[in-house]
Amino acid sequence: MSRKHLQELIKNLQEFYKCPSCETHYHFDDIKLLGQIDQYCFVQLGCHACSMPVLATVAIGKTRKRRPKTDLKQREEGKFLEKGAISAMEIAEFHRFLSGWRGSIAELLK
């Protein structure tokens, strides 16, 4: 990702994301880029007011018109759609859980 892209991404994050805990807008320094896979960026947002950590996945580049390919059957897909989008709170909870996990990933998936 280019520097310009990154700056744009951070600007967007600052504009559209707020801390789910105290609703503070993020500072430039609160946003850390963790990595990039294909057209997805993983960022960590650390609230400067209450230090609540939030992980976010941001799609960059052109958005595809086609539906993303999944290995889910149509019925299963409907089931997930019913559940709705994952909220920032849920991601924060998951992050907290993973941060405290001392075992291996394989153990986690059992």
List residues near Zn ion by CB under 5 A. 19, 21-22, 24, 47, 49-50, 52
Distance in Å, CB of 97 to Zn ion, minimum: 19
- Beta pairing partners, 43: 33, 56
Per-residue burial over 38-72, b if 16 or more Cβ lie within 10 Å, else e, is eeebebebbbeeeebebebebebeeeeeeeeeeee
Place of tokens 């960059």: 60
Residue 19 or residue 31: which is nearer to Zn ion going by CB? Answer: 19
Q: Which is nearer to Zn ion, 52 or 88 (CB)?
A: 52
Comparing CB distances to Zn ion, the nearer of 50 and 72 is 50
The least CB distance from residue 10 to Zn ion, in Å, is 18
